[in-house]
Chains A and B, each alone.
Chain A
Amino acid sequence: MKYVALVIPVLFLALFVYALVKRVKIYDCFTEGVKESVPLVVALFPYLAAVLMLSELFEQSGLSAALTSFLAPGFRFLGIPPEIAKLVMMKPFSGSGSTALLSEIFSAYGADSYIARCAAVSYGSSETVFYISAVYFAKVKYKKLFKPVLIALTANFVTVVFGCFLCRFL
């Protein structure tokens, strides 16, 4: 896995050398790009705050646990081990929350167990849908997100089912 660490420095090096050859004023240009980051974060902040508060409420109110136990039979029917149902419920809301859950599962069942492998695949192949929707559409007025969010959630859920199925063979 060592070569992964090389990707980023190589990208920067290649770009900066290329830019030098093309006589780009790198310093001026770089700072100009950095300048855009402040308004971007300011625009994001309200949505970030709302989604993160919601994910705390979802988790700490016990709603997440209640939904998980309510849906567990259905999950089992689809081949998703009930142990990772919580992870599947958590992932759309919070990246850090689901990372914590994933390492809990690893230490509880061992990193090489079937459950841990299912959890790893579900985690790796899905995304924090609500967070991404909040962030990507933060700067536009268009907020009719029901359909795309539903599509993303559906695709991610189908993938979890498929991933758990794959883990039995691979």
Chain B
Amino acid sequence: MNGIFSVVFIISCILFLIWNPDGFLPALLSGGEKAAALSLSLLAVYCVWLGFFKVLERSGLAGKLSNAVYPLAKRLFRSDDKDAISLASCNLSANFLGLPGAPTPLGIKAVEKFCAAQNYYAADMLFVLNATSLQLLPTTVIALRLSAGSSSPSDIFLPTLLATLLSTLLGALLVFLFCRRRRRA
């Protein structure tokens, strides 16, 4: 991330110097502004879902869910930490259902737990699964197509599902192949 950040930042900075030196600071500021606005809306979203998840945890349902997927999740993440697996499986189910904003706080907590146990493989796996999008229904796209006057807004469902499936499987496979050495659980 340090490399990517530095390279993109420096190249953009040079381009600004050549073409449009006045635009540099406003661009940075608008990024900062977006971050401030986004954190507020994230705060609102996290309030809802972290509250929801605490009740889920306390009622024992989260434990049941993680017990159900435990045999599978244990292999996927190479971890036997039940708490972390429960968080990770809730994160994946929330992703799958397309609950807006719900996966993130759970994912962050799961990554934290995995890393605390030095199981970086699991953290990488969870991140890649999240970053390859395993949403069942592309709700945003369908809503956008509908408002753009599409005659059948949901006909992209099948290709999107297939493509998403491919990316998730490919991502998981690549993690499996290339991140193995980090296992120290």
Residues 146-185 of B contacting A (Cβ, < 8 Å): 148-156, 158-160, 162-164, 166-168, 170-171, 174-175, 178-179
Q: Known contacts A63-B8, A63-B12, A133-B1: does B124 contact A148 (CB below 8 Å)?
A: yes
Number of B residues whose C-beta is below 8 Å from A? 95
In contact, A136 and B145 (Cβ under 8 angstroms): no
Q: Which of B35, B58, B60, B108 is close to A48, meaning CB atoms less than 8 Å apart?
A: B35
In contact, A152 and B51 (Cβ under 8 angstroms): no
Residue in chain B with minimal CB distance to A93: B8
Closest Cβ of chain B to A141, distance in Å, is 8
Please report the C-alpha to C-alpha distance between residue A18 and residue B132 in the assembled complex, in whole angstroms: 33
* B contact residues vs A (CB 8 Å cutoff): 1-5, 8-9, 11-13, 15-16, 19-20, 23-24, 27-28, 30-32, 34-36, 38-39, 42-43, 46-47, 50-56, 58-61, 97-99, 104-105, 107-108, 111-112, 115-116, 120, 123-124, 126-128, 130-133, 135, 137-142, 144-145, 148-156, 158-160, 162-164, 166-168, 170-171, 174-175, 178-179
Q: List 5 A-B contacts (CB under 8 A).
A: A34-B51, A41-B39, A49-B35, A123-B141, A148-B127
